[in-house]
Amino acid sequence: MAQYTPMIQQYLKIKAEYQDAFLFFRLGDFYEMFFEDALKASQVLEITLTSRDGGAQDKIPMCGVPYHAATGYIEQLIDKGYKVAICEQTEDPKQAKGVVRREVIQLITPGTVMDEKGLNDKENNYIASIHRDQTGKYAIAYTDLSTGEGKALLLENSLERLSNEIASIGAKEIVVDPNFDQDEITFIQTRCHVVISFEDQVAEIEDFYELVKQLHHQPLKTVAYRLLHYLKRSQKRSLHHLQPFTEFELNQYMKIDYFSKRNLEISESIRGKNNKGTLLWLLDETVTAMGGRLLRQWIDRPLINENKIIQRLDMVETLLDHYFEREDLRDKLTGVYDLERLSGRVAFGNANARDFIQLKKSLIQIPAIKQLTEQLNHHWANELANQLDSCEELVTLLENAIVDQPPLSIKEGGLIKDGFHQELDQYRDASRNGKQWIAQLEKEEREKTGIKSLKVGFNRVFGYYIEVTRANIHLLQDSRYERKQTLANSERYITPELKEKEALILQAEEKSVDLEYELFLKIRETVQSYIKRIQQTAKIISMLDVFQCFATISEKRHYTRPTFNTNRRIALEEGRHPVVEKVMDSNSYVPNDCYMNDQNEILLITGPNMSGKSTYMRQIALIALMAQMGCFVPAKSVELPIFDQIFTRIGAADDLISGQSTFMVEMLEAKNALMNATNDSLILFDEIGRGTSTYDGMALAQAIIEYIHENIGAKTLFSTHYHELTVLEEKLAKLSNVHVSAIEQQGKLVFLHKVKKGAADKSYGIHVAELAELPASLIKRANEVLAELEKSARDTRLETAVTIDEENDKVQEQLTLFDNPEKNNIRKSDQKVLEKIRGIDILEVNPMQAMNLLYEIKKQLK
């Protein structure tokens, strides 16, 4: 350290405490970065890399960004997953004895962004903390710092489920103990793409008691305290807006793992990270940011409590029946700004006067929204209306205090209305009268001197001055004029009268600006005292917004109210895939039925590619999900059981990050369903087994179907190209064949997209290739090869029939190997294999175990 200048020493000491962050070190009007930070930031931000003397022999790398433009650069770094520590001057340079005192005033991370430009309006920005207790269970606590809402839950000892939950909530940052298992951290980072931060403090302190009092399990309290300590240490400001953590159990909601959500394209498209073409994209008719975030939460966690589902459906139906009230409600909601994030900025101390105008305008809408909600004549609507708080006293304060169009800055005046504060009015009067006096002075001096171009001006360096061009200087004969500044084409002067008035005007202006800032801070403190009331109102507003959204989309797209049963019956008449229907012309969409009961648990779906098998499967899952959210669904009529989980295996893709092949990914997703599904679950398996050889794939597909049939009993939709599997309808009592129909017309394939009973008679693969416009010569050759293969298969079957009698005797002799091993000279090792095979209970073995047993047997035989 001794080789560096005092300022660089100061930088290095502060940087040592924030090694995992870019340190924005305030120097005058710039934030500077040095050493490795400068090298890396210059590349990431594409800014000029320079250097400076720092006392050492070699110059120090340096780059910087202007103070007033820093927000944009910080957003870029945060968006790329970095952290930024803001180091400000905390001492007046004029009063500093040596190096100006500096310290970090805030650590900005992906999970603690508060600036509205860096946030998605309709998406939560969660930061989470995880903790593993002595029993191996995981505890998770997470909060959205911008809105203040917080939740906590316990998970069983499963790293897979932990990472799935982190991915599902979309956490941007995870806070862990410094001693947390490094392998698990690496797994979570790889799977969930999150930033990892460390915090060792978990002490229970009084400041946080109200926030954790609803948590009843000690691991949840521990993980919540860790998160709160991290936020307090890193943000260094009030967390008054944080709401108490609510504890919830996953078994209160339908479980859908992250990969199933992607397969079904619920809130994220398979083709990219945006939500276009997803269920969320379709359903989002919300008009407030708060409603948009709540809608996403409801989509992520559908209910399994029938009473709560019906309560939501009742509200949607009520709004459907009250068209005019709904339209008026929607209109009033458009005037409500993001009350949750406004509250967060107020508590955080970075709300400006424009935020207060938005808050006032929002609260002004509440009485009308309350009245419209009461007019729905529904008991729950009345309960919600009673919880709406218009905070009339606060509205009055903001109306009287803040000008209608305030400036962005809160330190340069122009915020407070005339008449709000007597002393401020006096300063303003002095300043305004002084400026009138200046204007009068200019007029008088022009008359006295005869110089028509003479003018009185002002700048921050020299104050007020009288400016005369060089061509007119000879006309100045008045000794009162004292030269103040010389310019290329003019001279600037001051007079005793102007100097005296200048002091009065500037003093009044300076005091006015300072007083306005003080008054604004007091108003902000007053607003802080309303935060809890505003947050409660925000919750009700967001619920009303989602309900009107469901009603609006249901009316617009002709959705039907679902009903539920306890006898495991699916009765879906003319069901439609909601997203596909919207994307294509709804008049050309072909609806389909689905009927299943306790005697029909599995549908084996066959049919050509592009015929609509995947769409049919997905629409069943999406209709079930929408119903359990409390929304009407795309169908003529719907009766459903309540599903506890949805599992999918749709599509095929390598997991390049973890080095797993398409087939391994397929098997792992199948395993997840087979190990965790219950008879109340819904399973969608699309073309499972196609990632390996034909016979392996067919064998596995059949084994999986049989396992589900005999051991799980979940409602299952299983599509396949293995037509040989259709014989399972005769063997498995609760399996039925259905197919998506297609016909040939003049040698061309026409998809009917209609699901019918029975199995498809052929796959039409070459026809699909023809539709894809592969070269005509290639299609012709494929048909020739197909004919040869089919002829070869017929000849093989004929030869087999002719020789089967001859082979029977040999078969019988071979079968005696099992009866008399000594007579046939079987090796002892082979005998052990035979005994092992005899000991296997097929009904108790899942597909993965079967593969492992087969591998072991083959190894022993070798």
pLDDT score of 804: 41
The pair of structure tokens assigned to 256 is 């859908």
> Residue 679: what pLDDT?
94
Q: Which residues pair with 486 in a beta bridge?
A: 491
Residue 810 in domain: no
**What pLDDT band is residue 304 in, cutting at 50, 70 and 90?**
very high
Across 445-472, average pLDDT: 89
Judged by phi (left if over 0) then psi (alpha if -120 to 50, else beta), residue 758 lies in left
Among the listed ranges 452-461, 722-731, 745-754, 831-840, which one has the minimum average pLDDT value? 745-754
Which of 517-531, 638-652, 719-733, 747-761 comes out lowest in average pLDDT? 747-761
Spatial distance between the Cα atoms of 457 and 510, rounded to a whole number of angstroms: 18
Q: Which token pair is 777? A: 């010569």
Query: CA 763 to CA 767: how far, in whole Å?
Result: 9
- Per the structure block, which two tokens stand in for 479? 């000794």
Which of 774, 794, 817 corresponds to the end of one domain?
Answer: 774
**Exposed, middle or buried by CB within 10 Å (0-12, 13-18, 19+), for 117?**
exposed
612, 716: one domain? yes
d(CA 862, CA 860): 5
Buried b (16+ CB within 10 A) or exposed e, 419-451: ebbeebeebbebbeebbeebeebeeebeeebeb
Task: Tell me the average pLDDT across 497-502.
Answer: 84
658 pLDDT above the threshold of 50: no
308 is in an annotated binding site: no
Cα–Cα distance, 43 to 55 (Å, whole number): 25
CA–CA separation, 290 and 339 (whole Å) = 8
Strands 645-649 and 682-686: parallel
Rounded-to-integer distance, Cα 175 and Cα 142, Å: 10
In a domain, 168, yes or no: yes
Q: Looking at the DSSP assignment, which residues form a beta bridge with residue 552?
A: none
Amino acid at 658: S
d(Cα 16, Cα 351) in Å, to the nearest integer? 31
Region of poorest pLDDT, from 413-417, 688-692, 739-743: 688-692
Task: Tell me, yes or no, whether 258 lies in a domain.
Answer: no
Q: Which of the four pLDDT bands, split at 50, 70 and 90, describes residue 671? A: confident
Confirm or deny that 613 is annotated as ligand binding.
Answer: yes
- Using pLDDT thresholds of 50, 70 and 90, give the confidence band for residue 842: low
More confident residue, 492 or 587: 492
233 & 341 share domain: no
- Domain with residue 178: its CATH number is 3.30.420.110
Q: Where are the alpha helices (DSSP H) in 195-241?
A: 209-212, 218-235
Beta strand 173-176 with 255-256 is: unpaired
- Residue 480 DSSP one-character state: T
| Low-confidence winner among 597-611, 612-626, 750-764 (lowest mean pLDDT) | 750-764
For residue 748, what are the β-bridge partners? 745
Q: How many CB atoms lie within 10 A of CB 515?
A: 18
Q: Which two tokens mark 788?
A: 């040869």
Q: Per the annotation, does 66 bind a ligand?
A: no
pLDDT for 812: 44
Whether 552 and 682 map to the same domain: the answer is no
Break the chain down into helix, strand, coil percent, rounded to 5. Answer: 50, 20, 35
- Please indicate whether residue 501 or residue 371 has the higher confidence score (pLDDT): 371
Instruction: Return the residue matching tokens 């492992």.
Output: 852
E-assigned strand segments in 460-513: 463-469, 482-486, 490-494
Give strand pairing partners of 560: 633
At residue 14, what is the residue type? I
Distance CA 829, CA 529 (A): 81
Whichever domain contains 694, its CATH number is: 3.40.50.300
Q: Letter for the amino acid at 325? A: E
DSSP H or E segment with residue 131: strand 126-132
What integer pLDDT is reported at residue 768 of this predicted model?
65
Question: In the structure, what pLDDT confidence band is assigned to residue 418 with cuts at 50, 70 and 90?
Answer: very high
Same domain, 295 and 364: yes
Domain count, the chain: 6
CATH of the domain at 14: 3.40.1170.10
**150-154, 156-160, 410-414, 656-660: the lowest-pLDDT one:** 656-660
Q: For the ranges 87-96, 113-122, 367-376, 754-763, which has the lowest average pLDDT?
A: 754-763
**How far apart are alpha carbons 586 and 580 in whole angstroms?**
9
With cut-offs at 50, 70 and 90, classify the pLDDT of residue 42.
Answer: very high
- Of 104-113, 392-401, 514-523, 851-860, the poorest mean pLDDT is in 851-860
Tally Cβ neighbours within 10 Å of residue 516.
Answer: 23
Q: Residues 572, 540: one domain?
A: no
Mind listing the pLDDT tens digit for each residue in 1-39? 678 899 999 999 999 999 999 999 999 899 999 999 999
pLDDT over 90, % of the chain: 59
Least confident of 311-325, 530-544, 619-633, 746-760: 746-760
Is the model's pLDDT at 787 over the cut of 80?
Answer: no
Span of 303-307, 604-608, 710-714 with lowest mean pLDDT: 604-608
Confidence of residue 698 (pLDDT cuts 50, 70, 90): confident
Mark whether 495 and 550 lie in a shared domain: no
Task: Return the bridge partners of 520, or none.
Answer: none
Identify the pLDDT of residue 186: 92
- Edge to edge, the sheet with strand 84-89 lists 50-52, 60-66, 30-34, 22-27, 84-89, 102-108
Is residue 587 in some structural domain?
yes
The strand pairing partners of 468, in sequence order, are 491
User: In the predicted model, what is the mean pLDDT of residues 104-130?
Assistant: 92
243 and 175 housed in the same domain? yes
Tell me: pLDDT of 847 over 90: no
- Of the listed ranges 471-485, 555-569, 645-659, 751-765, the least confidently predicted one is 645-659
How distant, in Å, are the alpha carbons of 727, 740, 745, 762, 834 from that of 759?
Answer: 9, 9, 20, 9, 38
Contacts of residue 590, Cβ cutoff 8 Å, sequence gap at least 6: 612, 752, 753, 754
Report the pLDDT value the prediction gives residue 822, as an integer from 0 to 100: 47
Mean pLDDT confidence for 271-287: 88
* Per-residue pLDDT at 801: 45
Q: Binning pLDDT at 50, 70 and 90, where does residue 821 land? A: very low
Of 80, 108, 136, the position where a domain reaches its end is: 108
**Segments forming the whole domain that contains residue 133:** 121-248
pLDDT of amino acid 818: 42
Task: Report pLDDT for 752.
Answer: 72
Is residue 746 domain-shared with residue 701, that is, in the same domain?
yes
Give the range with max mean pLDDT: 88-97, 265-274, 780-789: 88-97
Q: Are residues 624 and 540 in the same domain?
A: no
Give the side-chain half-sphere CA count within 13 A for 328.
16
- From the number of C-beta atoms within 10 Å of its C-beta (0-12, 13-18, 19+), residue 68 rates as exposed
Q: Which residues pair with 605 in a beta bridge?
A: 719, 738
User: Do residues 648 and 705 both lie within one domain?
Assistant: yes
Give the pLDDT score at 771. Answer: 63
Average pLDDT over residues 719-748: 84
- Tell me the two tokens of residue 462: 């020299």
Positive or negative torsion for Cα 668, 670, 675, 678? positive
Q: Is residue 310 part of a domain?
A: yes
- The confidence band for 533, taking pLDDT boundaries of 50, 70 and 90, is very high
Q: For residues 721 and 763, which has the higher predicted lDDT (pLDDT)? A: 721
Phi and psi at residue 31, in whole multiples of 5°? -100, 120
Helix (H, G, I), strand (E, B), or coil: what is residue 249? coil
- The answer to the question of residue 822 being in a domain is no
The CA distance from 40 to 83, in Å, is: 13
Band the pLDDT of 746: cuts 50, 70, 90.
Answer: low
Distance CA 725, CA 731 (A): 10
* 700 found inside a domain: yes
Q: 260: which 2 tokens?
A: 């199933």
State the residue for tokens 């073409």.
277
Of the pLDDT bands very low, low, confident and very high (cuts 50, 70, 90), residue 603 is very high
Q: What are the start-end ranges of the E strands in 553-636?
A: 563-564, 570-575, 592-596, 602-606
**Does residue 659 surpass a pLDDT of 50?**
no
pLDDT of residue 174: 97
Q: Which tokens go with 798?
A: 């004929």
- What's the mean pLDDT when you consider all of the chain? 87
pLDDT for 839: 72
Tokens of 374: 């009461």
Residue 799 is predicted with a pLDDT of 53
608 annotated ligand-binding residue: yes
Q: For position 437, what pLDDT does the model report?
A: 85
Lookup: tokens for 73: 């650069």
Angstrom distance (rounded) from CA 232 to CA 235: 6
- When pLDDT is cut at 50, 70 and 90, the band that residue 322 belongs to is very high
Domain shared by 133 and 166, yes or no: yes
Co-location of 653 and 770 in the same domain: yes
Q: Write the CB contacts of 81 (distance below 8 Å, at least 6 apart in sequence).
A: 110, 193, 195
- Can you give the CATH number for the domain in which 381 is found? 1.10.1420.10
The answer to whether 234 and 224 have CB atoms below 8 angstroms apart is no
For residues 498 and 511, give the distance between their C-alpha atoms in angstroms, rounded to a whole number. Answer: 20
Is residue 511, in this structure, part of any structural domain at all? yes
